[in-house]
Amino acid sequence: MIAAWSSAQSCDFELSGRVIDEHDMQPLAYAEVFITSLGKGAVTNDQGHYRIEGLCPGTYQVRVHHLGCEPVTREVRLTSSTTIDFKLEHHAEELRELEVIQARPDEQVGQPAKSVDREDMERAAGTGIADLLARVPGVTVLATGPSIGKPVIHGLSGNRVLILNQGIRQEDQQWGSEHAPSLDPLSADRITVVKGAASVQYGSDAIGGAVIVEPVELPRTAGISGELRGLGQWNGRGGGGSGLLEGGVKGITGLGWRVQGSGRYLGDSEAARYTLSNTGQREWSGSASVGYRDHRRGASVFYSRFTRELGILRAAHIGSTTDLQRAIESGEPWYTAPFSYAIDAPRQTVTHHLLRVQGSIALTDRNRLEVNYGYQANDRQEYDIRRAGRSATPALDLWLATHTAEAVLKHWIGEHVHGKVGVTALAQENTNIPGTGVRPLIPDFRKESIGAFIIEHMPVGERLELEAGARAEGTLLHVRRFDREGQLQAPEHRFTNAAFALGASYQLSDSARLRLGLASAFRPPHVSELYSEGLHHSAAAIEEGDALLGSERSLKATLDAEAALFGGRLRIDATVHASRIKGFIYLRPDGTRLTIRGAFPVFRYTATDALMGGLDASATLKLSKRFAWRMRGSTVHARDQRRDEWLFLMPADRLENGLLFRTASGGKWRAFEAGATHQAVFEQRRIPEGLDFAPPPSTYHLFALSASASRTLGKGELRIGLQANNLFNTAYRDYLDRFRYFTDARGTDIVLSVRYAFGRFAEKRLHDAG
């Protein structure tokens, strides 16, 4: 809940950043960054990070040197604490001038992108990846009860937000609103949210943006490092933990390994006034990786297994249409029971396997070839309340196997033109496992796609960089299904799409930058949107597809501005976006239906033309050396152009304010942080009239407190954090929660987190904390 901010006191500035390789963006360890006039500097760590503190306002000559590179001196003017990354071509024979970029290297020059690092993840202990990313302005959460969440970027979610995990596009039945991402965020070093149409870079499913889960770099030198984390959670009366161990191989520089494991065990969540019965959860994950890397070549293998079991709110499954309407109107769930750790039907279990093999080689001093292969297997079961003792038999049993491959050539044409060209391929097969005793919600299918793309970066002077890219992709979908008369059908769907992207990044001054992006994107319909028919058990809803749906095509423009004002005391970041999506597919409410399993709301996949736009912004004001104020807010407006009405299920306006405190040391403890935040989520008034089953929830206000501190313990670092969310136990419902018809959201939650790090993980925290 706390963010670090720059100091603005005289002679208390700092210069920090990374030194990285031009081609592969890998960190350069042991590079020297030196201010010649002051006789002080720093040496980069294994991650390429450096930090020089205690600087006064002024202009300095900064000299950067790394083995195998010609020393380069650059003029830097400081008006506030500044982050500068030095990007250079690392080769011994043909040298070129060092480039200085004012922010972290960015694949999407014109796209607004914001990152969540490991420290931010630590502050959000106890939350899933969707709630973690909701700290980024413009990102909200599509929830299905207290334990299931999916990220929403500028109003778009599900198959429109691509998750790139370990460099592989995540394929885990993401079409379902209650299918949370099957990954452990603690396996990442940083998670970046690209808030723009990103189909050129990543292909289909990035029409709304991308979530890039960046792996922790493997060590390259000998020595053992690691960390242990523990977590206790009040709401759910449980907790979890994780462990990570890594090292290099003595005598083989560049060879490293890592193993990691984590788990979480929670009982029923609790709302302000009652227990949310049957909402417990279990999560277990483990991963292992090994790799070799130098400045000419690299190779790595990564494997992970993620298992989750979730209870689905018992009160969401109702016996009759009359009871359903009564449950919606009553304001309280029809079924509650005392707190329990048991998970009964309705429930879901998911196991996800990911194998990634990666290799790269420098073909010349300026050109590099990278290849990636990924295999994923997703095993999903959903259990309903069934008669005659059949609740232990899954009502939905899906096996999804996905192969992905990518080859990318990063090339250097000249000082003002460099980029990459690549080809991608996907082969996927979905199988309904026999034995459920019910008609499958979605049919068996086989999907094949192949695409090619090119992206070129064109620096124009030191302040302006342009980008242009294009992509073409073809998709073939083979479906196998039985109709209501039991006749086998095998329809095929072919989709051909293209996309382009134009971007510009302009450095207005040392403390202000503009990004402008214009991009098209596409998304073929998923088989669920074409052929869903029946009860989606975990969503507690009947969903019906439309086999005549076509591809979505969008055009989106974004303008992103960043500025540091008043000597760095005030930092502002704002993004304006507007898009039009032709053939926009969404689940539209269509009454209720009584089945042998009970009464459920009905949703039909429908296409329209959507016009969307909005604003998200954040600001941090340094009030004093230790105190700061932070504001974050967002709004999204979306219209159904065919029906001339507001679009269904768009995020409500929200605004967050926080008072933050930080001090570098306090006796044995250091890096003490504390914060108090208030979030207001306003009633969604931009809704289609008479469509929904219930009116939008009222405006609600949530308060939170947090605190954390670190100290040295042995040869490592101990950090303890405490946070309290929904401090006043407010009873509320969120418009983007699919279970808001039946129950309130979670009440007060108190989370205690403990982390012990040693080796380079402790050194990194000490380095970053200063």
Which of 26, 61, 88 marks a domain boundary?
88
Please report, for the domain that includes residue 64, its CATH number.
Answer: 2.60.40.1120
User: What's the confidence (pLDDT) of residue 391?
Assistant: 85
Nearest-angstrom CA–CA distance, 602 and 445: 24
- Domain assignment present for residue 165? The answer is no
Mean pLDDT of all residues belonging to the chain: 87
Domain co-membership, 242 together with 376: yes
- Domain assignment present for residue 108? The answer is no
Residue range 367-392, pLDDT digits in tens: 889 999 999 999 999 998 887 778 88
Nearest to 199 by CA among 547, 438, 521: 521
- Domain assignment present for residue 171? The answer is no
- For range 753-763, the mean pLDDT: 86
Least confident of 33-42, 197-206, 337-346, 498-507: 33-42
Which of 88, 107, 142 marks a domain boundary?
88
Nearest-angstrom CA–CA distance, 182 and 309: 11
Confidence class for position 105, pLDDT limits 50, 70, 90: very low
- Domain assignment present for residue 387? The answer is yes
Please report, for the domain that includes residue 252, its CATH number.
Answer: 2.40.170.20
Residue 187 pLDDT greater than 80, yes or no? no
Domain co-membership, 73 together with 222: no
- Domain assignment present for residue 666? The answer is yes
User: What's the confidence (pLDDT) of residue 27?
Assistant: 76
- Domain assignment present for residue 399? The answer is yes
User: What's the confidence (pLDDT) of residue 10?
Assistant: 54
For the four alpha carbons of 681, 683, 685 and 689, in that order, the dihedral sign comes to: positive
What global pTM score does this model have? 0.85
Number of domains in the chain: 2
Whole-number Cα distances in Å, 55 to 8, 41, 52: 11, 11, 8
Contact by Cβ (8 Å): 454, 420? yes
Domain holding 276, by residue range, is 211-769
- Domain assignment present for residue 29? The answer is yes
Nearest to 76 by CA among 98, 91, 94: 98
Domain co-membership, 216 together with 68: no
Which of 88, 121, 137 marks a domain boundary?
88
Residues contacting 300, CB < 8 A, separation 6+: 218, 289, 290, 291, 292, 293, 356, 357, 358, 359
Residue 107 pLDDT greater than 60, yes or no? no
- Domain assignment present for residue 452? The answer is yes
Domain co-membership, 533 together with 667: yes
Residue range 628-658, pLDDT digits in tens: 999 999 999 999 999 999 999 999 999 999 9
Contact by Cβ (8 Å): 215, 228? no
